[in-house]
Structures are given as C-alpha cells and as structure tokens.
Structure 1
C-alpha cells in the first residue's frame, strides 16, 4: 500500500500504529500490514518485528493466547507478558527483573461520570464518605505517624501508592507537561534543569528501546515525607543533574507522581513498595532480543553519590553487550543505507536510460516525420510539375495561330520575356487577354508548329487549376494588364502594345522560380 489514510483508523488503531512506529522506526506502508496481521496488538507486532519471525508465526494465535484485559478501565500491556518462560528464567539467573511496557489508558476508556439519577441515589453515601475523608485527613495531618502505622496492615505492602481523585485525567503528553509545571513551581527550578521527557512512559520506553538508551524512571508521592528532601538533596543535586545530562551515559529521564493515572499504573507494573522510587531500565540482549529489564533500583531516601555509584555500576556491567548491539545496528544501518544508495543509483540509471530511450524514440519519430513530409512534398511537387506540363501541352494546342496579312484588324504585340528574348506577334483583335497570357506561358511549345502538331491528342489534366505566376506590364506609362478585369486585347491594350513579363513570386514559389524561367 503506497498511501495510508490515518483518518480511516480508529483511535485505538492510531495509538497502536504510533507505538509500533516509534519503536521500530518503520514507515506507515510497512507498519499497517503487520499490525493488521497482529489484530492491531502493538506489543505482538513489535515482538515479531525484532524477532524477525513475523512471516513464520501466526499472530492471530498469539492474540488468542493473550490474557484478557482486566475489568478496571486502567490497562497495563507489556512486551514481557508474551515472552516465553525461558526469558524470565534467564533474567532471574542474571538477577534482573523484567521491566514492563505500560500502555496509557485511551481516552475512550477514561472513567466517566455516572448518570444524574444514580448521582442522586448515591448522594448520601458520597456526603458521608467526604466527611469521614476530611476527618481522617485532619487527624493524619496532626498525627503523621498514624497513616504510616496503619498502612503496614493494609495488604502485603509497606506502602501503597495513592491517587488524588480530584485531579483531572489527561493524555500522557499533557500529564507530563502538568507534572513538570508543578515540579518547577514547587521546588523553584527553571524549565530544563532536569531533562524530563515530555511525553508518556510508553513513548519514553519505546525510545529507550529503539535507541538503546538507559531509561531512568522517577516516581514520587507527595503524601510521603521523604519526597521533598529526596528531590532537593538528591534529584536536584548538581552531581546527579550533571550525571543525567552527560551524553556518554545515554540516560533518558521520565518522572511522574502517583497522583496521576499513568504514573500510578507504572508504579503498579514496576512493583513499587516504597517512595521515592528510582529505577534504571535498559535493553538486555542476554535475556532476549527484545527484553527490557531493571538493571538498578532504589527505593526510599538515598544520597546523590550512592545513586550515581549504583547507576554507574549497572551501566558499566551492561555496557559491553549494548556497545556490541549498537555496533550491529550501525552495521545494519550502514548496509541498509548502502543498499538504498545502490537502489537509488540503479533507479537513477534506469531513469536516465528511459530518458535516453524516450529522446531517441522522439528523434526517430521526428526524423521519420520530416522524411515523410519531405517525401510527400516531393510527390506533390512532382505531381504538380506533371500536371503543369500536361496543361501546357493541352493549352498550347488550343492557342490560335497568328493572323495573316489579309487580316486588317489584327493587334500587334511586342513582348519581352524574362529571359531577355523579345517576341513580336499578331493576335486577333477580339482575342481574350487570357489568350495572350497562355501564349507567353506556352511560348516554348507554340513557337514550333511541328511540336504543337505532335501534341494534338493531349487532354486537360483533372483536378488542376492553372495559376499564372507572372503579369504583363506596359513600361511607359506603367500599367498592369491583369486577368481579373478580363476584356479583349483591343479593348485593354489597343492596336499595338509593348509589354514586359514580370514574375509574381510568392513564398511557396521560390523553389519553382528556376523551373518557371525554363518554361517561359
């Protein structure tokens, strides 16, 4: 498919397409068919793309084996859920914990308000819940140790992330922008002090996996007393800020507060039991070709130097295999670029050959056309010359002879031909002016009576209308005797006349000038 209409896809399909292209860096024409085969499941499509078995494994079977989504509107999808069990065992032997990929909740699945009648029925319960919440909030503010004490008896965790139900759920990009704005306002830092990723966790996860970067995830909970000291003394420490911004470490920073839905989902997926929480996620080729694992984790208060030492040791332990994978990808990219350049050069050469063939064909067609036109022009010229010769023979035999001496009313004409020869001849007084023109035209034939006698049987050519290409002019005073006015010789010229033959040569008659001079 050359063109892909994005508007024809549903919102979930567009989200899956965005996730797949951000990880694999594929164009839309190649991404859409694979996603269609995988039932628009982005995690399966990404897995099959990197494993290279998109054509051998049936993605529909994988979709059928995938676990059903939870009833809750919030949904967590990870690439690790579909990995074979040997990957998990291999990660466990290396002391690594898989890092899931959390898909943000689509807006279509956001929790919506209940209908108005149900709100009326539940109004007493909502009021009672709000009153008890305010009372317990006040007690917790006056006695901070009570929430931490009670939380030890809640489920099996030491601490449980909470969410502010009053915060409006937003899409991942807007949620990230709101977190950075609140972070800068609360701790008095300028924008860009920490290079937070301006997007969702899934997008940062995909970028880190595609570019082989280390994804540093920071999760904060404003309800915990250790959050503010951790941010001021550790997270905003000049040493840690410089370490994160150092391009040689290839760190991509993403942070969030568990008051937001996406960060709350990430905290649950990463099994967070204590806040503030920091973990370093990287691609681990030793586990599988697509695995992302937590290579270093810190929960609770920690100094900046300890955090830097822990991250530095984790990065160093995985540096060799990541460098090897980067070299492989660079080699693949170089091979791909070389192949594209070769294909481009081949296409350019093919286009040049087609252009040369087109020009050669056009030149041959133009040459054939010119030859055909020249041949047709020669044929028309030859046919015209043949008909002219036939007409001259036919007209010469119809020219009356010169009147004798006994004819007293004869007109005497002195005609100087273009060749310089002067002809003196008598004509009948009542003869038409055209007869004088015909005599000049056929003079070479009528000057010998024997030649004219031999052509008695010549007939007038069909479809030919003769046009005289000269005119008879009287020099003193100058007067043109043209055929359009007609009349007899005596009426137009008188008893005698001294005439000159002047040729009338047009643009189309230039080539025939020499031939006409021979005939006159």
Structure 2
C-alpha cells in the first residue's frame, strides 16, 4: 500500500507504530496495521513479539512431513490475517474493547529505552527458544506483563488422557458425535441415501463414516435436521498434506471446538448445519477437517494455528511464498493460513463464526483472492505431470526396445525353465489338494462333533425348562364345580404329535398362549420316575425371573425366540392356520382357538434350517427357492 494514499487516522497510527518500533520499514508497519484493522494496540503487541522472538512476528508454523520428496513445499505455514480484523467491526459484534495504548507522548519517550532493556533481557529466552525448536519441544505458554502491555498466550486445554487414540479414530468419533448432537448428517451420506451418487468424502483411506448403511429404524435423509460438511477423516497432518497437493490444490477449512466453551453448541447447530455455508464449501471443493481440542491431534492443531477462542474456524490453502528474493514469473507455493475466525456464532448477522459472516467472507474476499492462484497451480501441476508422463513414455519406449532385444536371446532359456517349473508346480498342486482334502475332512469331523455336543447340551437345557414350565407355566385345568370368572369360558384343545400320539387338555379362554405351548412342550418329557412331575424344579433355571418373563428372557439370552426355542410350531388342522407364539397373548385373542380346536404339531429343526439357508446361498439365488421348500419341517404327510 502506498503511504501517500493513507488517511489522516491511518497516517497517525503509522507514525505511532514507527515511534514505538524506533523507525523501521514503513511498508512492513503498514502491512502489520492493515492485518489488525489499523489497531495500534494489537500491532504494538505484535512489535514486542517481534523483539522477543527473532524480529519475525509471523514465524511459520512447523508441520512435520513424511520422508518422501514432493514438489510442494508444505513444511511451513505462513499466516495471512489481512481479512480477519474485518469480522469484528460490524455493529453488535462481540470482541475485545480496543483502546489507545499510547495516549500521550511521555509513554512514547519511555518506550525506546524499554524496548532496548527488554531486548537484552529476552536474549537468553531467544537462545532457549532456538534450542527448543531444534529439539522439537513445544514452547511454554506464559503471560508477560510490561508497563501496561499485556502479552498473554492462553494454551488450550491439554488433551484428555483417556482418549489417547489414533487421529483417524478420534476424527471419526468426533464427526459421529457431531451428527448425534445436531441431528444432521454429512452431505455425502445424504446423496448416497437419495441415490444421487456415491460418497464424495475424502480421507486417507476408505471410511465407514459416509458409507455405513442406515440402521433399522434410522430416519431417512430427507427427515434429518440438516446437513453437515463432508469431513476429512484422518489426522491433521494428512489433512494439511492433502490440501497442499498441487495436482489437486484445494482450500482447507479447519474447525476446532472445545466443549468447555458455551458458544460451541450454538455454533454446531447454526453454522455447521447451515445449508448455504455447507453447499458453498461443497461447490468449491473445500476440504474440511474438525475436532475437539480435548483430543490430542486437535489440540496440536490448535497450537499450530494459534487458536485462543472457540469455536475456531481457519481457512488454509496454497499461496505464493512471500519472499523478496522471489523472481517474477516463478511461483513457489506454500500452505498458508488465509484467515482465522474465532468467537461466538450469535448474533447471526455479525458474529465472527456465524454462517452469514463466513459465507460473506468466502464469497466477497477469500474465494476471489485464492481461487485464481489455485487454478493456476493445478494447471501448472497438470502440465508438469503431462511432461513427466511424456518423458516416462519415451524412456519406456527405449526400455521396450532393449527388452525386445534381450527377449529373443532369453526365449529358449525361459521355455526350458517354464517346463521345469510346470512339473514342480503340478507336484505341489497334487500334494496341496491332498492336504486340503485331509484338512477339510478333519474340519468336517470336528464340526460334526461340535454340533452334536451343542445339540446334546441344548436338549439337556430344554428338558430342564420343560419341566419347570410344566410346574410353573402350565395352569391346572378348569374345574366345572369351581367358578373361575378370571379364566373365562372353558375350551377344549386337542393336540396330535408327529408320532401319532394325541393329547387333550382343557383351558380357560383367558389363559395365555404360552400355556398351550408349555402343555405341548411337556408332551416331549419322557415317561419315567426320573422325570416325574413331583421332582420338577420350582425355581426358574439359570436364575431367570419367575413366570413368563423368565421364559422370554431365557429365549433372548439363548438367541432363539419363538419356534426356534420351542422346536415346533402349532397348526390348526382345518382350515390350516399357523398359531404363532406371542408373549402375553390370550387364547381368546387367537383366531381359530376361541372355541377350542384340534392342533397339529410340526417339528422345526433349527440346524437343518440354517444348513439349508447356507446351501441356498452357496448354490445361488436360482436354486434358493427350491431349497426353501424343504426347510426341515416334519408334517403329517411325511409320516
């Protein structure tokens, strides 16, 4: 900016800053003042930081990179905060109260010797800071107070020790918790549910976050409360490297929150689910990464991005490296912080992190300023890739010529070697097939023994439950001489067993359907003194609750409900109708049993059903229907 084009207030702020810093480059002072909206107090703080830390207030933030070499320089982060100060000047915006730090000339006179003394005292800290950087030790965050100038760096809360996990799991866990808290889902999942296309989420590897199927009972995409951006699922370092790829140069958006701040829940519900904000980032191919600073990776990112207030939003992208030695026409790109926004998201019209403020900032300032350079970077990267591909094709052509010359010479040797290897491979194949047959037979025997053992254990367990059900679940038959209005009218139910035996019992129409099933179940108890009803257990097996509740709990604990538990099903003989067991259902509520009836028992072989389903799956869908016809049921016709 030309110093002659400054207004009177800007000229006065420039003079004050130059007096404090003992002169200095006018263009550097203008750049500092412009980045903080011409606030002398903030720029003076930056100047004192310049004195203490190597006279470089915008020192790059180090980012570790993998060992492989790339053409993109992303080791450092430059900070471009030229637009950040504009977010807090609107009416009603919340921010720090700004006052004139140097209201009178005496303070200006004291500032010069104070600066000199402070520089001498800071020399040991400069050496210590250099040593910390070499050893990659984080600098301690301490408050410094000097003559009314307070330089305070607040370190975010340390990461939670109980959540020390890999960055990818932490990022995915945070996004899932964000979906649960806001009721919104990521944009790619909305598209996948609606059939518009596959997931567009980008990550270091495929993630189940955007491709996981909707669970039973989960709301459809159109019924959700909103949409969220497609978050990058990976570490912050991987996110930075992805943004810095010149072949796919993209604008990155970093979202950091802290559950200790009261402004975070409103920010999640209003800003992160704002359709305009989400669509704007999606349409411009933003790469979004977020996290809670209680996680180690997000806490490290907050240190690198110098976040002090939450929620915090930063936009990063490749930008030309700001170096006076850069020659015209050369573009050396480095990953740069384009802007930082931190603070509350309300009021919506002026808050630093409200959706309206961010959308306005992106449309009016950031996108017009950054997109042309990124387009040029991508074009140059594509051109370099094409040139490399051309050179590689030429080298491949030369290599093919040499290989063709060598191929004719080695052809005869290769044929002899192939014949020998073929014989060896055939011998190995025969031996491997024999070994596999033996292994398959062994596994089949072990599986048969295991199934037989499980069947015996299951039969033993069922016999105990049958005897308990005979004592507890099976009510006594209604007595004609005893009025029992609670049980209702007496009905007669006959049962025909698969082996031809018949059983008849009287029930009250108010009795439960479970009593009928329990009666049929008792018919499978063998005769003999060992199975006498007098020795039936009165206490539910396995410590289950009493009554039908204990039976239902045992079913679900065993993973066998309904006919899988009973081992049979009841069918009305004419007209044929299945009597499906349901807990709590009365006999009077069963269609066909209101006045009694004749029931036929059809056995259910659970193991045969599972085996039949497995075979149907192996031989294909075309034969599945034929296999389902023989589902292991034993009917009267088969007898």
Tell me if TM exceeds 0.5: no
* TM-score class normalised by the smaller sequence: 0.3 to 0.5
Larger-Rg structure: 1
TM-score w.r.t. length of structure 1: 0.40
TM-score w.r.t. length of structure 2: 0.33
